[in-house]
Structure 1
Amino acid sequence: MLIGSSRFDHLEQLPAVANNLTELAEALCLPTSWGLPPQNCVVLSNPASNDEVMSELRSAAEQARDTLLVYYAGHGLIDLHNSLQLALPKSHQQRVESGLPYDYLRQTVLDAPAERQVIVLDCCFGGLALGVMAGTPELVDQASVEGSYLLAAASETSYALAPPGETYTAFTGELLEVLRAGMPGGPELLELDAVYRHLRLVLGAKQRPMPQARNRNTGARLALGLNRAFLPGPSVGTSVSSDLASRTWPAPEGIRTVQGFIARLQDVRRMSGLTQRAVSQRSGGRISVGSISNLLTRETLPRTWTAVPTFLSACGVPDAQVEQWHAAWAKLQVEQARTAAAVQPPEREIAKPAARTGGAWRRLTGRVGRSKPR
């Protein structure tokens, strides 16, 4: 069940939430995901009241037998007892009781006969400026569901989770990307804990709030679908050393420069003992020989992460170490952006010469064209 509030009478509008609901419903119905029939994916957009939400939620909970997933996107409010209230279109910042108490939703999920329960919260906790969503670890603890998995987009108040002008909220946008394109270098199945770790890396690299998760029992092993970017094992007939996976691979720790990053990738290829053609074959053709050559000889940081994990996995680097490489790449990307911003001259300094030129031109034309005092 997908619940979302994008229009509000007394709070900032969140137009991206409407897109979240439409695209997430479509993604969950894909054959590579859960392949849900449309009637099993209930979408409740801008519900008028708590009664409407709870009626639909109880109906969905009663019918679910395998897995019950409840997703909410919109504003979140904190009442005087530090309890979470999910905002509805008529909710008011100074009247937090006008929202849907999270405890209502939580208890209904707990009472459901489904074997597994998942709650995903992409909501703000504070009625701040447009697009700002925030939260604290205590809220995530409060929202925990025993025997299930909770994934919450909660972080510091100084970061925006629904940036104006973007199609989706930051958290759900990255979740949709995982469902559609997969996780390069990730496992064959999109297990919740693997998705959570990936989202933390991606959102952290963009300096956006990092999600939090709480797992009870085996909830972390629940898969949202197939990983479309999964790298299969060696092709039939490809000769690969039996100890490839157990080798001590060059690690990305300590890398400080782009040159060091590329040099360490070259070390990985040499350690694998594979030619560039063999690496391409091991990838199932997902990365060409030319792309490998470009990756290992470039002087700049790869703009996207896609080629690097494919190369590393094809060489035989374990998934856990591929995640370490991702963190190193993300750190370099952030440092490059900071350096570029630091060397960019202030706008007013750029404008000064033009201002002086314009002033001189005005003085000149004033002298030439002046016919009488004004």
Structure 2
Amino acid sequence: MRLPDGAHSRALLIGTGAYEHLPGVPASRNNVRALADTLQQRTGLPPGHCRRLLDPPDLAAVGREVEEATGAATDLLLVYYSGHGLIDSGGKLHLALPQTSQRLLPWSGIPFEFLHQAIQQSAAATKVLILDCCFSGIATELLGGEEGAIMGQIRVTGTFTLTSSPANSPSYAFEGRRHTAFTEALLALLEEGSPRAARMLTLNDVYLELLRNAREHGLPLPQKCGTHTADLLPLAENRYQTPVDTAPVAPPPVVSAPESWSAIAGATAPYPRTPADPEWPPVQPFLTEDDVRNVLFKTVRLSDGYDEDEVDAFLDKVIAAMREPMALDQRMLPDEIRRSEFTTTRLREGYDIDEVDTFLDRVELEFERRLAWTAKHAEADREGRAL
């Protein structure tokens, strides 16, 4: 695996922090500045190929930058937005600009379908879309059962899409913090790495680490859309596996979530990621045997799906493995789940690919927890101490 080719890659980072009709999100501007610096240092993008667009004045200004980035990228195209995400009366997603208002939403924001189309038409080999915004905002009452429709809007062919929260959930904010919760976790991961990933941080590693962080700190759970193939693409070197010097580095402090949250797009959360983290592995499972047994996937026909029999047979193996006591050697390892492959169907019914992939991410996370629990208790037994 290799890092993106900086000469043929482009990143466009959009941050809207000041609004005329919505609460301000100053952390969005900080997000863009910090992420641009981190991508240049960790991903190898030259400064001229990593564009920052702060508080763009109108849709035309955004369009010019999007067209430039999507047209120039032939290796990696990464588009990031931080700010408010709003839903119009027709269930369409819009990314807010400084002058955006709910009343004039279709005329004053960035219609997501415009961005969707531009990314889809890019010749870039790898397309990464990151949305750090609230899908509900002041339009929460319009969402209802629209999660499927909203997530459908952000499924771009050939693209790995990562969002800070589900379609029916706001992205929370800590008052007075420098970065949003989601982006601070992303920045920390790129800067510090992960003890659970290999030498390269793949897009799937990024998603799983952000998912762990959200679960551990009570944050909205990140969502992703992308195939297993896209998941395996490397974004940056894993700094945990590639130390830059021999000086000891103090682990980041564990900070508890405050009593009150602000339901606007933005702010920060702690991101403790060290092997000695006392919170890992958590005692409570990420999902149970019953969750696996009772899962229901949407079926599709005349579009790509996973063979139902193959998926069901694999989940039967998962259930059998979950019945094994964690004190014993595990019969199924996270890597086996990560590398699982199924025959695709089109003329006959199959399971929705994104739903299966997303569920298997949760299964993988649970087996990483089980593996870590087994190792931790085995070490305690060798040292003759109780946990």
Structure 1 length-normalised TM = 0.61
Q: Are 1:15 and 2:26 an aligned pair?
A: yes
Partner of 2:69: 60
2:126 maps to a residue whose letter is R
Q: Aligned-pair distance for 1:124?
A: 1.3
Give the deviation of 1:194 after TM superposition.
1.4
Write the distance in 2 (CA, Å) between the matches of 1:74 and 1:11. Answer: 10
Q: CA separation of 1:100/1:75 partners in 2, compared to 1, >3 Å: closer, same or farther?
A: same
Distance 1:184 1:164 in 2: 30
> What letter corresponds to residue 169 of structure 1 in structure 2?
T
Q: Is the 8 A contact 1:144 1:214 kept in 2?
A: yes
1:163 deviation in Å?
Answer: 2.0
**Which ranges in structure 1 are unaligned for 5 or more consecutive residues?**
233-284, 288-302, 332-374
Counterpart in the other structure of 2:274 = 306
Amino acid at match of 2:44: G
In 2 relative to 1, CA 111–169 (structure 1 residues): closer, same or farther, beyond 3 Å?
A: same
Provide the C-alpha distance between the structure 2 equivalents of 1:83 and 1:20, rounded to a whole number of angstroms.
Answer: 25
1:80-100 deviations in Å (ceiling 9; x for gaps): 210101100000022211111
- Indicate which of 187, 197, 207 corresponds to 1:176: 187
Q: Is the 8 A contact 1:74 1:86 kept in 2?
A: yes
Shift of 1:26: 0.3
Are 1:223 and 2:248 matched, yes or no? no
The question of 1:82 aligning with 2:91 is answered yes
Residue 193 of structure 1 corresponds to 204
Q: Does 1:127 align with 2:95?
A: no
Q: 1:203 to 1:191 in 2, by over 3 A?
A: same
Q: Percent identity?
A: 34
Residue 170 of structure 1 aligns to which amino acid in structure 2? A
Paired residue for 1:43, among 47, 52, 63?
52
Say if 1:140 and 1:213, in contact at 8 Å, map to a contact too: no
**Is 1:209 aligned to residue 220 of structure 2?**
yes
Provide the TM-score with structure 2 as the length reference.
0.59
Equivalent residue letter for 2:88:
D
Distance 1:108 1:64, change over 3 A: same
Residue 157 of structure 1, CA deviation = 6.1
1:265-284 map, 5 Å: none
Deviation per CA, 1:117-162: give whole Å up to 9, x if none: 1111111123349xxxx99454223211111100011237676523
| Unmatched runs of 5 consecutive residues or more in structure 2 | 1-11, 249-270, 282-328, 337-363, 374-387
1:329/1:22 Cα in 2 relative to 1: closer, same or farther (>3 Å)? Answer: farther
Cα distance in 2, alignment partners of residues 169 and 114 from structure 1: 28
**Across the two proteins, how many residue pairs are aligned to each other?**
258
Pair member with larger Rg: 1
| C-alpha distance in 2 between matches for 1:101 and 1:16 | 22
Give the 4+ runs in structure 1 shifted more than 4 A: 156-160, 309-312, 316-331
Residue 306 of structure 2 aligns with which residue? none
CA gap of 1:158–1:72, structure 2 versus 1, over 3 A, is closer
RMSD (Å), alpha carbons: 3.8
